[in-house]
């Protein structure tokens, strides 16, 4: 209990005093995870559209695969990405290991299946089944049709993006493996908390965890406000 | 309403893209160097002084990757790291035997302490290290090991071998964690454990888990710097490795090492040993 | 002589081996309102979807005498489904939606949408969320959305099927005004003989995907070619009197 109270006090102190190191890793966490989520959305949303409305052989299997991807352990993703980014690996030339760019890639891979799976569900469940035919019947081009349907499902798509962001921000396995938790370069809130734990500084670890929750809440709250504004008015 | 949503979404997207731009990049000037070391070395805080000094002198940018001893040596062998700073002599010899290394230089040492409950149920106070462990096993007194194949763990296992005991039973626990966490666990459970001086001095468990055995020659923890070469991997930065090794055994670095911790803890945490013969080492005063 | 606005030649639609629509020939002059009558499953919806270019078919369709491929027909026609499918947005936005989907600018689309809303008597509700509308209002909004597009070919699929008698009567009047004012050629699938007689300038009866009678609505009602046609148009069983009596 004492540790928890210590942690709370420490978290408040770190944030209120604008502790330089904490602010630095906080901003890095945000930058990396936001970038990863943006990439994940850019890839996953078009894919989700194809999966939701396409009719092709193996579609169901593909959807099942994407759904399974939600359960990928981040540390496994991190390991695979690391193997690719090793100097001896196929992408070693890019020198992305132990960089934030590498971390963005790994986190995007973790977030993408989540965003895609939720987006498919949002498109299939949240869009009037007759609407697609109707909009085509009004002469919509393929692109405009896609945009209109994505717009129609925006509540669920917002949730999908939030899910992806939450996963990226809170994961530690991939950030640790691909980033290396290097002070001043690739340390983020989660890996910083792990380091503090291994040093036995549990109060700091919990404090960083609390900072992470606050950050996650701030971003998610913004998106939720947007989402709820787009929600239907009461009849 | 849709317009506002659209604009807000666009704003978020712009933020994300700017974040992406910021997250990428960061180019090297003279060159980058990957230093693989152990978590306990990093936790001691010594590298926070040594590495910036090296970077300022040489112009290299050092990426310090702190992992377990086994992983550090593995990274070196695969050429994924350029230079190693480790403290597991037997395993280091194996690495050197692969022929992929450059120089292996003695840098410094610190020592381990056997700490435990003030009540000292096994009566180990003042004994030699191996004898103390034998006493602990005999009494079945609780002991917490790191159990993670780290340099610390390997030293501990060597001591058990010396004591002629196979640690087994409910009294022997393996935390699988870093030094600081392991010490905290031992402190909470009023158990014995082996801890390096630097971690011990920095921790808050000093009052409740006093030092019971120290100064024994077998408790020495010896650090070497090992250069990797392109025989380990094409992209190994041999020049950088050489520069770092040279720095670490230089007078400047050795002075930094010797002064480290004195002001804060009133005693040396590491004893600089560059240039000495491998066999002749004395524990910190 | 001006080319017919719509010409259908050897139109055939097959689904899972069955022929669901087979129309040998159909010609409509400009501004014609064609009522298509038939039992459920007779092929009315299939005909509309085929004309709209939404289902694959054999045969050719000409607009103004020119053979027009399905892709092009989609751009020149506007279809209104049986059940109004509206977007999660305001009534105003929905009315403009058809135009926006075709790349028309926001302001112009909004203006034309508002005009269409006025034509169907919904302008008072323009700020409301579209999903709070009643069935009749939603159907009128769907109609406004299609009218705003000002298509060459307007295709209405049983617009009053889900409405009560009062709603049907109201929609009938709105349609009469809108179709009278417009320049489109209209194909209207309907169950309601009153609607057919009030609005149409030509009538086709479908059975099993094939036309079984065709002509001026009053003529077909006066001289139904079969019991089926009579039933569909609710003509007195005791035989047609002069002028055709509708029950």
**Which chain C residue is nearest to residue B2, measuring alpha carbons?**
C89
pLDDT tens track for C25-79: 999 999 999 999 999 889 999 999 999 999 999 999 999 989 999 999 999 999 9
- Asked if pLDDT for residue B22 goes beyond 70, the answer is no
Q: Closest Cα of chain A to C223: distance in Å?
A: 35
Q: Among B172, B203, B153, B265, which residue's Cα sits nearest to residue A198?
A: B203
Q: Is B27 on the interface with A (CB under 8 A)?
A: no
List the subunits that have 3+ CB pairs under 8 angstroms with B: A, C
Reduce the secondary structure of B219-252 to three states and give it as a string. HEEEEEEEEECCCCCCCCCHHHHHHHHHHHCCHH
Six token digits for residue C198: 């009030």
Give, in degrees to the nearest 5, the angle at Cα C160 between C159 and C162. 110
Following DSSP, what letter does each residue of C14-63 receive, concatenated? EETTEEEEEEEEEEE-TT-EEEEEE-TTSSHHHHHHHHHT-S--EEEEEE
Give me the number of domains chain A comprises: 1
Cα–Cα distance for residue pair B108/B84, rounded to 1 Å = 14
| Residue C88 lies inside a defined structural domain of this protein | yes
pLDDT of residue A93: 86
pLDDT of residue B225: 96
- Please identify, in words, the CATH class of the domain defined by B111-219: alpha beta
Candidates A130, A154, A233; nearest CB to C83: A130
Cα–Cα distance for residue pair A92/A69, rounded to 1 Å = 25
| Residue A235 lies inside a defined structural domain of this protein | no
Q: The domain that contains A187 carries what CATH number?
A: 1.10.3720.10
List the subunits that have 3+ CB pairs under 8 angstroms with A: B, C
Q: Do domains B32-109+221-272 and B111-219 have the same CATH topology?
A: yes
| Residue C82 lies inside a defined structural domain of this protein | yes
Residue C237, Cβ density class (10 Å: 0-12 exposed, 13-18 middle, ≥19 buried): exposed
Q: Can you tell me whether residue C227 is helix, strand or coil?
A: helix
- Asked if pLDDT for residue C118 goes beyond 80, the answer is yes
**Chain A residues within 8 A of C103 when measuring between CB atoms:** 141, 144
Domain that residue A110 falls in: 2-229
Candidates A32, A95, A154; nearest CB to B23: A32
Q: Is A229 on the interface with C (CB under 8 A)?
A: no
| Residue A69 lies inside a defined structural domain of this protein | yes
Residue A90, Cβ density class (10 Å: 0-12 exposed, 13-18 middle, ≥19 buried): exposed
Q: Among A91, A211, B40, which residue's Cα sits nearest to residue A99?
A: A91
Candidates C103, C132, C145; nearest CB to A138: C145
Residues B80, B83, B85, B91, CA torsion sign: positive
Cα–Cα distance for residue pair A200/A123, rounded to 1 Å = 47
Q: Is A148 on the interface with C (CB under 8 A)?
A: yes
| Residue C243 lies inside a defined structural domain of this protein | no
Q: The domain that contains C158 carries what CATH number?
A: 3.40.50.300
Give me the number of domains chain C comprises: 1
pLDDT tens track for C161-189: 888 888 888 888 888 988 888 889 999 99
| pLDDT in single tens digits along all 235 residues of chain A | 677 787 788 888 887 888 888 899 999 999 999 999 999 999 999 999 999 999 899 999 999 999 999 999 999 999 999 999 998 889 988 889 999 999 999 999 999 999 999 999 999 998 988 999 999 999 998 899 999 999 999 989 999 999 999 999 999 999 999 999 998 889 999 999 988 887 777 788 888 998 899 888 988 898 888 788 766 554 3
Six token digits for residue C142: 């769907």
ipTM of this model?
Answer: 0.88
Interface test with C, best of B2, B3, B5 (most C CBs within 10 A): B2
- Asked if pLDDT for residue B281 goes beyond 70, the answer is no
Q: Is C191 on the interface with A (CB under 8 A)?
A: no
Following DSSP, what letter does each residue of C102-119 receive, concatenated? TT--HHHHHHHHHHHHHH
Q: Which residues contact A135 (CB under 8 A, 6 or more apart)?
A: A145, A148, A149, C85, C97, C101
Q: Closest Cα of chain C to A152: distance in Å?
A: 6
pLDDT tens track for B90-127: 889 999 999 999 999 999 998 899 999 989 999 999 88
Q: Which residues contact B194 (CB under 8 A, 6 or more apart)?
A: B112, B113, B114, B115, B145, B152, B155, B156, B159, B219
Six token digits for residue C54: 């939404």
Sheet holding C18-28, edge to edge: C18-28, C6-15, C58-63, C66-67
pTM above 0.90, yes or no: no
**Residues 41..70 of A with a Cβ closer than 8 Å to C: which?**
none
Q: What percent of chain A shows pLDDT beyond 90?
A: 65
Six token digits for residue B80: 């994924």
Alpha helices, DSSP H, located in B84-217 = 89-97, 129-139, 151-163, 179-188, 197-202
**Chain B residues within 8 A of A105 when measuring between CB atoms:** none
pLDDT of residue C237: 52
Cα–Cα distance for residue pair C186/C200, rounded to 1 Å = 9
What is the CB neighbour count within 10 angstroms for residue A46? 14
pLDDT of residue A77: 95
- Asked if pLDDT for residue C88 goes beyond 80, the answer is yes
CATH superfamily of B32-109+221-272: Periplasmic binding protein-like II (3.40.190.10)
Per DSSP, which regions of C57-151 are E strands?
Answer: 58-63, 66-67, 77-80
Q: What confidence tier does B15 reach under pLDDT thresholds 50, 70, 90?
A: low
Q: Closest Cα of chain C to B2: distance in Å?
A: 8
pLDDT of residue A121: 95
pLDDT of residue B12: 66
| Residue C85 lies inside a defined structural domain of this protein | yes
| Residue C240 lies inside a defined structural domain of this protein | no
What is the Cα gyration radius of chain B?
22
Q: Is A147 on the interface with C (CB under 8 A)?
A: no
| Residue C239 lies inside a defined structural domain of this protein | no
pLDDT of residue A205: 87
Indicate yes or no: CB of A139 within 8 angstroms of CB of C74. yes
pLDDT of residue A80: 95
Q: What is the mean pLDDT of chain B?
A: 85
pLDDT tens track for B234-271: 899 999 999 999 999 999 999 999 999 888 888 888 99
Rounded to a whole number of angstroms, the distance between the first and last alpha carbons of chain B is 74
Domain-wise residue ranges, chain B? 32-109+221-272, 111-219
Q: Are A197 and A74 in contact (CB under 8 A)?
A: no
Long-range residue pairs from B201-207, CB within 8 A, at least 24 positions apart, any chain: B201/B261, B201/B264, B201/B265, B201/B267, B201/B269, B202/B43, B202/B44, B202/B45, B202/B265, B203/A200, B205/B115
pLDDT of residue B280: 62
Cα–Cα distance for residue pair B189/B185, rounded to 1 Å = 6
Domain that residue C17 falls in: 6-232
Give, in degrees to the nearest 5, the angle at Cα A113 between A109 and A119. 135
What is the CB neighbour count within 10 angstroms for residue B266? 8
- Asked if pLDDT for residue B220 goes beyond 80, the answer is yes
| Residue A151 lies inside a defined structural domain of this protein | yes
Give, in degrees to the nearest 5, the angle at Cα A7 between A4 and A10. 155
Candidates C88, C101, C132; nearest CB to A138: C101
Least confident span in B35-44, B97-106, C37-46, C102-111: B35-44
| Residue A234 lies inside a defined structural domain of this protein | no
HSE, CB side, 13 Å, CA atoms: give it for residue A50. Answer: 11
**Chain B residues within 8 A of A37 when measuring between CB atoms:** 16
């Amino acid at each position: 209990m004492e540790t928890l109270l210590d942690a709370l006090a420490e978290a408040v102190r770190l944030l209120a005093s604008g502790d330089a190191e904490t602010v630095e890793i906080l901003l890095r966490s945000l930058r990396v995870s936001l970038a990863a989520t943006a990439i994940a959305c850019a890839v996953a949303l078009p894919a989700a559209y194809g999966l939701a409305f396409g009719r092709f052989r193996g579609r169901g299997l593909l959807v099942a695969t994407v759904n399974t991807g939600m359960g990928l352990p981040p540390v496994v993703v991190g390991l695979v990405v690391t193997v690719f980014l090793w100097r001896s690996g196929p992408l070693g030339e890019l020198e992305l290991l132990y960089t934030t760019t590498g971390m963005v890639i790994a986190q995007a891979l973790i977030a993408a299946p989540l965003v895609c799976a939720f987006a498919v569900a949002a498109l299939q469940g949240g869009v009037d089944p007759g609407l697609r035919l109707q909009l085509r019947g009004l002469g919509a081009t393929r692109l405009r049709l896609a945009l209109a349907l994505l717009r129609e499902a925006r509540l669920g798509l917002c949730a999908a993006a939030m899910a992806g962001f939450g996963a990226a921000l809170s994961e530690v396995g991939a950030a640790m493996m691909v980033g290396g938790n290097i002070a001043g370069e690739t340390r983020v809130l989660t890996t910083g908390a792990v380091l503090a734990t291994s040093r036995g500084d549990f109060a700091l670890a919990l404090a960083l965890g609390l900072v992470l929750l606050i950050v996650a809440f701030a971003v998610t709250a913004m998106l939720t406000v947007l989402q709820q504004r787009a929600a239907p008015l009461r009849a | 309403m849709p317009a506002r949503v659209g604009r807000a979404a666009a704003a978020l997207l712009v933020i994300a893209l700017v974040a992406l731009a910021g997250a990428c990049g960061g180019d090297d000037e003279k060159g980058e160097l990957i230093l693989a070391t152990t978590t306990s070395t990093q936790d001691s805080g010594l590298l926070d002084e040594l590495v910036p000094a090296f970077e300022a002198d040489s112009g290299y940018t050092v990426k310090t990757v702190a992992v377990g001893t086994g992983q550090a040596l593995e990274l070196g062998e695969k050429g994924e790291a350029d230079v190693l700073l480790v403290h597991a002599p037997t395993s280091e010899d194996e690495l050197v035997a692969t022929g992929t290394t450059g120089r292996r230089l003695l840098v410094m040492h610190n020592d381990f302490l056997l700490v435990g409950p003030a009540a000292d149920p096994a009566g180990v106070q003042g004994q030699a290290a191996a004898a103390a462990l034998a006493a602990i096993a005999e009494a079945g007194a609780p002991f917490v090991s790191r159990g993670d194949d780290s340099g610390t763990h390997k030293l501990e296992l060597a001591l058990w071998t010396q004591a002629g005991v196979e640690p087994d039973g409910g009294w022997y626990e393996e935390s699988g964690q870093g030094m600081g966490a392991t010490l905290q666990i031992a402190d909470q459970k009023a158990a014995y454990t082996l801890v390096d001086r630097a971690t011990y001095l920095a921790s808050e468990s000093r009052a409740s888990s006093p030092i019971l055995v120290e100064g024994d020659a077998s408790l020495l923890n010896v650090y070497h710097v090992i250069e990797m070469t392109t025989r380990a991997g094409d992209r190994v930065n041999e020049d950088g490795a050489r520069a770092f090794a040279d720095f670490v055994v230089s007078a400047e670095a050795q002075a930094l090492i010797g002064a480290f911790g004195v002001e804060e803890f009133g005693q040396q945490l590491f004893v600089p040993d560059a240039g000495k013969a491998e066999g002749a080492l004395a524990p910190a005063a | 002589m001006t080319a017919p606005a719509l010409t259908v030649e050897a139109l055939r639609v097959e689904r899972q081996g069955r022929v669901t629509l087979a129309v040998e020939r159909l010609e409509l002059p400009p501004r014609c309102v064609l009522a298509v009558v038939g039992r459920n499953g007779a092929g009315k919806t299939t005909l509309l979807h085929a004309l709209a270019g939404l289902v694959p078919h054999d045969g050719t369709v000409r607009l103004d005498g020119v053979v027009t491929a399905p892709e092009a027909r989609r751009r020149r026609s506007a279809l209104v489904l049986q059940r109004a499918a509206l977007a999660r947005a305001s009534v105003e936005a929905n009315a403009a939606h058809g135009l926006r989907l075709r790349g028309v600018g926001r302001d112009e689309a909004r203006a034309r949408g508002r005009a269409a809303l006025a034509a169907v008597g919904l302008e008072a509700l323009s700020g409301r969320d579209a999903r709070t509308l009643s069935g009749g209002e939603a159907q009128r909004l769907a109609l406004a959305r299609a009218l705003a597009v000002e298509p060459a070919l307007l295709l209405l699929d049983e617009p009053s099927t889900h409405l009560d008698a009062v709603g049907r009567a109201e929609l009938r009047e709105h349609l009469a005004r809108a179709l009278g004012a417009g320049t489109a050629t209209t194909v209207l699938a309907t169950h309601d003989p009153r609607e057919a007689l009030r609005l149409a300038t030509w009538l086709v009866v479908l059975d099993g995907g094939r036309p079984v009678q065709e002509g001026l609505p009053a003529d077909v009602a006066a001289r139904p070619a079969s019991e089926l046609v009579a039933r569909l148009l609710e003509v007195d069983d005791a035989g047609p009197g002069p002028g055709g009596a509708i029950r």
